[in-house]
Chains A and B, each alone.
Chain A
């Protein structure tokens, strides 16, 4: 498959910020469209969309409004919700000692994970895109951690990181490098979690690889004939051509990092985002409050308020990324 030539610019902005027609050139002029009877198309379109629309209403719109209501109540799941206005938000921003640390943990995770995941994913994809023996095996191996059941593999990492008998420190000892407390120290806990998340970098790689394979090989050949070195080819041809997918990747990885849950939940020593609050990401904090450990009462109202804050954080971060990136995303002149 080759890259379809496209005539618009800056359209790679992710499909996220819901707005408007900005940057999307009209296609009114296309002949095939005008021949169509509009009303029959509209009817057919809504018939085809019907299941998704019903699902969207039931599983996105309804919970969203419902949780917006809960966010304004005190609700423990045992007795009826009690309306308390903005108290949940007040508590979150002023008295809750865990809120700001959890914002910090979440952002730290994003800052560490997203660039590393993109860089390593792309590097592996470039390597796997070569015509070499064994590449397909490597590709499969890289993707393997993504296919395995998450809980089992993360539990394994917990063994690896055990400071006393874990594999990680044994290897460091053997290499005469200083050992670490890994998940048991507030400073190294988030980086350790990032390592575990990067272990599933195969999902990033495979999308990059798909993009790379769609770059027409003639372009590479032409560049090589012009005497361009591998570095020039990568930065002047490959990177610009895959920039739309890069945008998608940035968004996907950000969502992954902002919604990280399994890793901190399973890896933190207390299962609550410890030590201290160091790995209590917003997502985990929401879960802790909504579904606390045995013997504690749920705070559905407060958790719903946190959900809304997380949702807004995600939307703002992604929108900012999209706006910022529209400056550097490739606009087509190569083909």
Chain B
């Protein structure tokens, strides 16, 4: 399991021509630490990193917040249509994502969002991921109703119950969602590729792809690519390791509570 990282590391440390030794050598015979400086330079790493951080940060906040809101409504409020909406949201998980690409591209183009970050961020603020809504609802169901009853007796409204009672006790759920949302947005490639015209607005995922050429005699600089790639995947790895212990707790709601 750890092998790919090790392999990436060795390639990242090799010289440009040593990459293509056949059979491949496990350890580089000379170490090129400069790859970690030269690689990022090729794609203007700092600027793209900032772009990625902004896009991913906003998508995570939007996706998690609106999913939590929807989950709260579906799990803890009684209203007509509750069950229907739940099934509708979850059913939309089955929809192949390619359905949206062409119509949405035209939609965003028509409202003037082409070459902006909005198509990458706004969908997250509109309940972006049905899996998150499902997860949030399941987690909310596992919380005893006496808690909001008590808050209600104290005269709290739904907004207050949601913000000051529910959010703190559902920490594992939204941390789990944040990890997943972070990974998705950070690694998303196709959407930024087709929506962003100007390279100064690119996130890192698109920048990474400029290393690999499919045309005429250009051997990609695999060593620079892998070195930069290691830096690229550091943030999601770090996020995962830091928040790991909430992760399983957050997911546990998926199955233990039945679909009440």
Contacts and interface: CB of A to CB of B under 8 A. Distances in A.
Tell whether any CB of A sits under 8 Å from a CB of B in the complex.
yes
Interface of A: 1-4, 6, 8, 11-13, 15-19, 21, 24, 27, 32-33, 36, 38, 41-42, 44-46, 48-49, 51-56, 58-60, 62-64, 66-67, 70, 77, 140-145, 147-153, 156, 159, 165, 170, 206-207, 209-211, 213-214, 242, 244-246, 248, 255, 259, 283, 286-287, 290, 300, 303-304, 307, 310-311, 314-315, 318
Nearest to A140: B244
A244 B248 contact: no
A12 B259 contact: yes
B107, B126, B244, B256, most chain A CB atoms within 10 A:
B256
* Pairs A-B, 3 closest by C-beta atoms: A245-B255, A55-B126, A52-B127
B142 A213 contact: no
B8, B96, B158, B162, most chain A CB atoms within 10 A:
B96
Contact of A144 (B1, B67, B157): B1
B126 A52 contact: yes
Contacts of A2: 256
A1 B244 contact: no
B254 A248 contact: yes
Contacts, number: 243
A37 B149 CA distance: 13
B87, B107, B126, most chain A CB atoms within 10 A:
B126
Contacts of B36: none
B104 A59 contact: yes
| Secondary structure call for the B interface | helix
Contacts of A314: 94, 96
A55 B66 contact: yes
| Secondary structure call for the A interface | helix
Nearest to B65: A51
B160 to A, nearest CB: 11
A18 B183 CA distance: 29
Question: For chain B, which range describes its interface: under 10, 10 to 19, 20 to 34, or 35 or more residues?
Answer: 35 or more
B23 A46 contact: no
Contacts of A27: 260
Contacts of A19: 87
Contacts of B255: 207, 210-211, 214, 242, 244-246, 248
Interface of B: 1-2, 4-5, 7-8, 22-24, 66-67, 69-70, 72-74, 77-80, 82-104, 107, 123, 125-128, 133-134, 142, 145, 149, 157-158, 162, 183, 187, 189, 205, 208, 226, 229, 232-233, 236-237, 240-241, 244, 247-260
Contacts of A286: 96, 98
Given A58-B107, A152-B4, 11 more contacts: A48-B69, A52-B66, A52-B67, A52-B133, A56-B92, A59-B123, A63-B102, A170-B23, A213-B252, A214-B252, A311-B96
B2 A141 contact: yes
B142 A64 contact: no
B248 A41 contact: no
A125 to B, nearest CB: 10
Contact of A49 (B1, B83, B85, B189): B85
B78, B87, B237, most chain A CB atoms within 10 A:
B78
Contacts of B8: 152, 156
A320 to B, nearest CB: 13
A214 B256 contact: yes
A16 B94 contact: yes
Nearest to A259: B96
B76 to A, nearest CB: 9
Contacts of A141: 1-2
Contacts of B233: 147-149, 152
Contact of A311 (B2, B78, B88, B95): B95
